[in-house]
Amino acid sequence: VGNGPAAINAAEEIRRMGSNDEIVMISKEVKRPYSRVLLPYHLRGKLPDENQMFIRDEDFYVKEKISFINDEVVDLDTQSQKIHMKNRDALEYDRLLIATGSSPFVPPIEGLSGKGIHSMWTLEDARDLRPYFVEGKSILILGSGFVSLQAAWAAIVKGLNVYVYELMPRVMGRVLDEQTADRLTEQMEKFGVDVRLGASTRKVEHLADGRLRIHADDMEPIEVDFMIVGTGVRPNTQFLKKTKVNHERGIAVDHQMRTNVKNVFAAGDVAAGPTAFGEQMIHALWPTAVEEGKIAASNMLGKDEDFTGSLNMNVTQMFDITVASMGQFIEAEGQDVWEYDLDGLGNFKLVLEEGIPVGASLLGKSELVEYLGILRPIIRKKQTIKCEKSEFFQYLRREYELI
Ligand SMILES: Cc1cc2nc3c(=O)[nH]c(=O)nc-3n(C[C@H](O)[C@H](O)[C@H](O)COP(=O)(O)OP(=O)(O)OC[C@H]3O[C@@H](n4cnc5c(N)ncnc54)[C@H](O)[C@@H]3O)c2cc1C
């Protein structure tokens, strides 16, 4: 179920492994697989043609011998192994992969629905938003996570007046430390974004001319043409309500992407899978969806393949600055921090526990992201660093120059 990266890579892996088993793919969205990651690039005009967001050819399903059903799964019976859809008869399965991703969560704020209130999550959303992304329009973005700030950047590039309202005291609170978040905020302000931190939005008024008036505590109301709500997401598990599949905070899966119910697997944004630090949780990242989809496929075919665990990594390149974080980038008690202030490049911070790197963050030039890439397998393999702080950076730089 689904046709995002987790599902597509699972199906392709099944074929790659030589299986001719029947594959049926069900998705409630457009048939041709596209990348959500590219939606902001489309809106900011970097990929002006909608077709540039598709990630497989039109004949993908034919080539891979996949039957595609455009429908929504509404219920599941794991006893009789049947899937129930909105608009057609139930379908039986031998093995099921749930790769339904997640959907934006809209907080219960008065007036936060209807005309002018949008999400930026699907191709359909991008189509709805396109007419608003023109010079001179004004937008309020609610929330300041990764997707929200991508929307803000796209809006700035297109010449809109941009407000960002964030309830927390800093932007991208979950993936940036305080210092990095402050630098990013400064940079956003330089580009003309009106960033309001600690903003508690109370009510959205729909005016007669179609514009929106936003009321937040202790602030003068503002008027905008439209809003994007980026206040987090929830895994798409509604159709599991009557089942015994564990899905409290995403569908719990083991190292083989198996749920607690026989013949039911899950992967991608909907799955709380193994992570590099042991804890089972959702890592809503494209590469994780791809890896999990492939592992699920292999085990659905009866192989015995384990996932080593996902490592969170967030890279944000906008407002002419690169900020990124990976692993446990905010130091806990007892952990060491190696900070590098790099002339002309930016700042790089490494967190270590007993000599083993557990996380890193950076702010500066895009070259530094490559350093994270070099560090990634070291964190995943839990390798101890035996050299001094400065020598280790020389090592990263040398490796970078060899790429
Ligand atoms: C704007 C934006 C930018 C992003 N940028 C990045 C980035 O830079 N780097 C990164 O790593 N990640 C990024 N992501 C996250 C990334 O896109 C997701 O992690 C990835 O798409 C998850 O893949 P998935 O296959 O698990 O789910 P999805 O891609 O969400 O696919 C789920 C599929 O299931 C279908 N579905 C859901 N419920 C049902 C149902 N009941 N019945 C039938 N079909 C159903 C959906 O229609 C969809 O086709 C971004 C996301 C967004 C929205």
CA 229: distance to chain centroid?
A: 15
Identify the pLDDT of residue 176. 86
The rounded Å distance from CA 126 to ligand 1 centre is 14
Identify the pLDDT of residue 147. 95
* 15-57 per-position pLDDT tens digit: 999 999 999 999 999 999 999 999 999 999 999 999 999 999 9
Quote the pTM value.
Answer: 0.95
Which token pair is 64?
A: 């891979």
Q: Is 30 in the pocket of ligand 1 (CB under 6 A)?
A: no
d(CA 132, CA 135): 9
Q: Is 226 in the pocket of ligand 1 (CB under 6 A)?
A: no
Which token pair is 299?
A: 């085990």
Residue nearest ligand 1's atom 27 by CA: 101
Identify the pLDDT of residue 178. 87
Residue nearest ligand 1's atom 47 by CA: 29
Show the low-confidence residues of the chain (pLDDT under 50). Answer: none
> Which of 71, 236, 325, 372, when mutated, tests ligand 1's pocket best, judged by the most ligand atoms within 8 Å of its CB?
236
Q: Is 147 in the pocket of ligand 1 (CB under 6 A)?
A: yes
Instruction: Please state at what angle helix 389-402 crosses helix 367-380, rounded to 10 degrees.
Output: 110
> CA triplet 396, 401, 403: central angle to 5 degrees?
95
In terms of Cβ atoms closer than 10 Å to its own Cβ (0-12, 13-18, 19+), residue 376 is middle
d(CA 206, CA 226): 10
Residue written as tokens 């489309």? Answer: 42
Reference 294, options 1, 7, 2, 4; nearest CA is 7
Q: Is 42 in the pocket of ligand 1 (CB under 6 A)?
A: no
The rounded Å distance from CA 37 to ligand 1 centre is 9
Phi-psi region of 401 (alpha: psi -120 to 50; beta: other; left: phi over 0): alpha
